[in-house]
A and B are shown apart, each in its own frame.
Chain A
Amino acid sequence: MLIAIAIVLLVIGSVLFHFMSPWWFTPIASNWGGIDNTIEITFWVAGFVFIAINLFMAYCIYKFGYNKNRRAIYEPENKKLEIWLTGITAVGVAALLTPGLFVWADFVNVPEDAHEVEVVGQQWQWSFRYPGADGLLGAADASNITPDNPFGMVPDDPNGQDDLLVSSKEMHLPLDRPVKLLLRSKDVLHNYTVAQFRVKMDMVPGSVSYMWLTPTREGTYDILCEELCGIGHFVMRGKVVVEDEESYSNWLDSQMTYAQLNAQAAGNPQIGQALYAVCSACHGANGEGNDALNAPNLTGLEPWYIKRQINYYKTGVRGGADDVVGMAMAPMAAILADDAAINNVAAYIDTLPDVSSPTTVAGDVEVGRALYEPVCGICHSEEGAGIWAVNAPALAGMSDSYLVRQLQNFKSGVRGAHQDDEYGFQMTSMVSALRDDEAINDVVSYINTLR
């Protein structure tokens, strides 16, 4: 008896939950309203069946409870009823399926006027490639990937020279223009999902998958990876900016082509040495750092990391008002006038012999190891040497007080929360695995052993 009431209440509760739930589809931002319509049809049919069968069952339980003076009816089968039920179900299922298949037919047939954009996935970052003026994407292959050619471009393919290479978590798309996204992965399976677009597709290493859509609403939307791709899966985030044609073409114009990137001069350490004179006041003549001045050791850091961080200080991504220590660096970075100057300084720092900073942090090394090896060590490498491919800097030999401060900054959002911090946001999520200051000390004291 109670169970009959419970079923009725669960049915009512489910329906109420459905209509009152604040958790519902995001407002759509693409042409795939047909998907939403199909879902709506499915909801009505499924909802009707759910309510009808359950209420019927509750009624049976209520009506035909046990009575020792009564007998159940004896009816092995009822062909007519069974045929009817089968027929009605088949019709209902067909009604559910058919509209969906029409939408799917749209999805698999890409409109001929769709422009192409390539999305590249890797553990655990996004990058994007736009065909240049020729409208064609050049050939690319994972086997060509090197630190200087992260997209794996085939160097002598003429179609690829004007390709715009966007090594950033942010892509842009023009409003109301159909786009075919070519999906490529460098390493493992990934998945390109933008909830507001409704459609998604896996990215499979070794082949190029695709999907198409027409963005219909301006805005900035999250790109999520939705195919488990390793320990950093949950920090593989990007943004897609949908904007009008003018803003879009301005943005495209600001991107570098493959040929331009190749033509960039390498940093000149001789010129960099002169510029470094300013830096040496705090970071030391040999880049060894100075804990008293909160200036970290720079030796051992790769040029790509130094360049990015100086740029961040210049543009206010790092060293903002809440970064009490880092704000001292902002005016210093501003002294470096342009990218060439930054390049030269980074090239000079690269020539400085690696030295290790003195250790000052005390923590439980074994606890630190258990935290470092399975998590931090994946990107920063087991030896703490850093890995260029995942944009993870070297840690071994760094000033440990600096490491502690940065982990705290990531945790509090002083660092990494800025929207233009391309990779720092990953640390803000990863560092949540270090639950308190003690854990931070433990992991840094383990890093101190990696030298």
Chain B
Amino acid sequence: MTKLAPVLSAHWDEKDSFTIAAYKRHGGYTASAKALAMDPDAVIQLVKDSGLRGRGGAGFPTGMKWGFIPQGDNKDHYLVVNADESEPGTCKDTPLLMANPHVLIEGCIIAAHAIRAKHAFIYIRGEVTHVVRRMNQAIEDAYAAGYLGNGVELVLHVGAGAYICGEETALLDSLEGFRGQPRLRPPFPAIAGLYARPTVVNNVESIASVPAIVANGAEWYQSMGTEKSKGTTLYSLSGHVVNPGQFEAPLGITLREILELSGGMRKGHKLKFWTPGGSSTPLFTDEHLDVPLDYEGVAGAGSMLGTKALQIFDETTCVVRAVLRWTEFYKHESCGKCTPCREGTWWLVQILRDLEDGKGSEADLAKLLDLCDNIMGRSFCALGDGATSPITSSIKYFRDEYIAHVTNGACPFDPIASTLFEGADA
């Protein structure tokens, strides 16, 4: 039985956890002091050795990404932290930054040192005003304490509400003041990123994991997790569960274990389907309760670890309705640059809406799947791919439920039954 292993979230329960004083009380800013005394290449090697992989979804080895930055090129280098957390279901960076903004700042100091960057940027989702305020205060405190401003400048940039800006090159365009749309690659950001300079773009959790690795060593980090997925990570549990929230555990824990640790499903209900890593990762069902939630385990079962956003839905939920909601999101957020995503999401919503309303036909399912096939892998960036995942996976597991909408001429579910306030009056 895997246990929770709070590292990032170790002190979140303390009332002042977000202050610089609390952070220092628990050894904060000692790792950066240690790293700054090291050769930058040694820091990169340390992170490589730790096995840390990107926590933004793709799972690319963080140390290797840092190693791609050309050295001695006499160009400015930049570190950019992607805090544009916008995927439906994904909610790890926001609580992390609320509870402990300084761990990200310290991570930035170490990472900037490693890649020889003098400037770091945090691109944060614009809607999370409370986090922006807290982050700004933390940056101010870190400047006042001298952790920032002595070799590394850190800028918090607030986005304006576009999901696409979580795509790293769209993020860079947005950061430069342009409309956020993904850039053609190559050149990759490591060669020509922000202002056409070598740039590392990392997720909040990836950078926030670095101070602990520097403090405790690569071996310590290696000791947690599975063969190819090392360390601990935040699993964000939401939906029809008794205790939603952040559960930090070594990679490889299963949903069954997390549910046991957290108090399980909503009383009297059973698991129907869930996302392992946010709405753009193919759905799982109760067959997958024992899939190890690491990069390889989830991929082996036909989905993606993604952002470890475990959205849990019980048997009261209409999967067609849930998928329609997600698809509406992707239609709204498609940047419009490429045809498959722009036109495809527009069209998918219309078909799904008809199906959910009971106005569809069985032929619509074939059409949906074929459209998804024409979008998946044909789009400019992963947004289009992600938009098809809930559709194709839900049809794979719940085809009968789609058909039931057709034969019923309406949705067979009572939407009230799936709300969390259902039964509150009783």
Is B truly associated with A?
Answer: no
A residues with CB within 8 A of B: none
